[in-house]
Amino acid sequence: MAFAASLVSMAAAQEDKLKIATVDMQELFKQYFRTNEAQKQINVERARIQKDNNERLARIRELETNLGNLKKQIEDPSINDSKKQALFKDWQMQQQEGIALDRERREFLQRRNQALNEKMVQRMKGILEELRKLVEEQAKSDDYDYVFDKSGLSTSQVPFLLYTKDATDITAGLLKNLNKDAPAEGDAPAEETPAPVEE
């Protein structure tokens, strides 16, 4: 009788055993083809901002060259005073134009970069939410009680998950599922990392 009770309690303990899995969310995020697509689009937009900024800088540098030439003429002792006064007025006007153009360029750069950063944050949030839902669906279909993110760090940069016994890592399977609709390598344009935008 005692033996049967022991078997029943062992069977109950087996039934109550938690089914735990781990996942590397950082790896999922990095290896997901949609993350790479979003990064490429952001790089294209960043390059466009850089191009606009360069065009504005070229105009400002042109003005700086003109100002340098005007200054030389103003300092030329062979030029009469009335001509120098006219040149000085021209120099002042161009200097003011240059200051206004540079201020406008800096404001443009700040606005565009801020808008791009907000867009990037929204895209990344959307991708992370998609990943979270996928992990949840996988956990439900495989009947896991808990799924822990093994890439998560505490505020002291120590992993939350230091050790798990008998936990299944579902990262590779999720990655395969995530990237099943990825375009072939030849279809995707080569990723470019644009130079940082000059302030």
CA distance 130 to 178: 10
Supply φ then ψ for residue 22, to 5 degrees.
Answer: -120, 160
pTM for the structure as a whole: 0.66
Segment 35-83, tens digit of pLDDT: 999 999 999 999 999 999 999 999 999 999 999 999 999 898 888 889 9
Which of 23, 18, 24 lies closest to 147, judged by CA? Answer: 23
Residue by residue, pLDDT tens for the chain (199 residues) are 554 444 444 444 455 678 888 899 999 999 999 999 999 999 999 999 999 999 999 999 999 999 999 999 989 888 888 998 999 999 999 999 999 999 999 999 999 999 999 999 999 999 999 999 999 999 999 999 988 888 877 777 777 777 777 778 888 889 888 888 888 765 444 444 444 455 5
Token code pair at residue 76: 């030329």
Contact 144, 23 (CB under 8 A): no
pLDDT at 101: 95
Contact 194, 46 (CB under 8 A): yes
Amino acid at 74: I
Side by side, the strands of the sheet bearing 168-169 are: 146-149, 20-23, 168-169
pLDDT at 150: 85
* Spans of all domains in the chain: 19-181
Residue 2: half-sphere exposure toward Cβ, Cα within 13 Å:
0
